[in-house]
Amino acid sequence: MSLVGALPFLKPRFSPSVSPGRQRRHTLPASEFRPLNTQDAISVFEIEKEAFISVSGDCPLHLDEVRHFLTLCPELSMGWFEEGRLVAFIIGSQWDQDRLTLDALTLHKPKGSTVHIHVLAVHRTFRQQGKGPILMWRYLQYLRCLPYVRRAVLMCEDFLVPFYQKSGFKVQGRCSITVASLTFTEMQYPVRGHALMRRNSEAIGFPQTVLLLEEPIQRSESALLLEEQTQRTEPEPADV
């Protein structure tokens, strides 16, 4: 599978060709979005462990599972790096059933049309800055560029349901999976908008089609940051 068409969602937010002296003072540090790889696994796990252990007592993915999915389907992960440092990430895999089962926690189903989002986490130093919603938004837009994806699903504890609802996820009901005494809500997000790109990909060139979306991406990220600033008084989940 080629990721060329999805490059706008993974490239740096600011062009490295612009000299620092010409950048405006309010410009954020150089940021990069890219798929994760096994070399990122330890950094991923350190962020995940700190985010989840104190809240839930366990991690969605252990280190060997992080490496497992970053080996099988790195294209379904996304890391946000600032000046080379991992500050937030998402890891997903493909799934081929309507609802999640225990197998979904460890298996990658390459023929599935559903992306199971295993984990979203933000480094503690970078929380309360709106990075969780921005990363999720960019990831969902990236999924629109993958022609085999029809929806994204996840399972979360009840206190995280409002956070994911703000990103457009809808509640499907109680999840059949339990971990120790923890129960979860299953949520889904329909991935729409890439059917036209699939039909016209040979005629007009898939990369060119996606490039048209880059400016709206940056505008939407600015809107998300503004919304986070105006709603800062609301409690934000520790891991996002």
Domain count, the chain: 1
Catalytic residues: 93, 107, 118, 120, 164
Domain CATH number, residue 183: 3.40.630.30
Q: What is the pLDDT of residue 161?
A: 97
Lowest mean per-residue pLDDT among 108-122, 156-170, 183-197:
183-197
Would you put residue 142 in left (φ > 0), alpha (ψ -120 to 50) or beta? alpha
The more confident residue out of 106 and 236 is: 106
Q: Any alpha helices (H) in the chain, and if so which ranges?
A: 41-56, 63-72, 131-143, 161-166, 195-200, 206-211, 214-230
Give yes or no for residue 235 having a pLDDT over 50.
no
Q: What is the pTM of this model?
A: 0.75
Residue owning tokens 């349901």? 161
Using one digit for the tens of pLDDT, what is the confidence trace for 93-110? 999 999 999 999 999 999
Measured from the Cβ of residue 170, the count of other Cβ atoms closer than 10 Å reads: 10
Q: Which domain holds residue 50?
A: 29-233
Residue 26 above 80 pLDDT? no
Contacts of 26 (CB under 8 A, 6+ apart): none
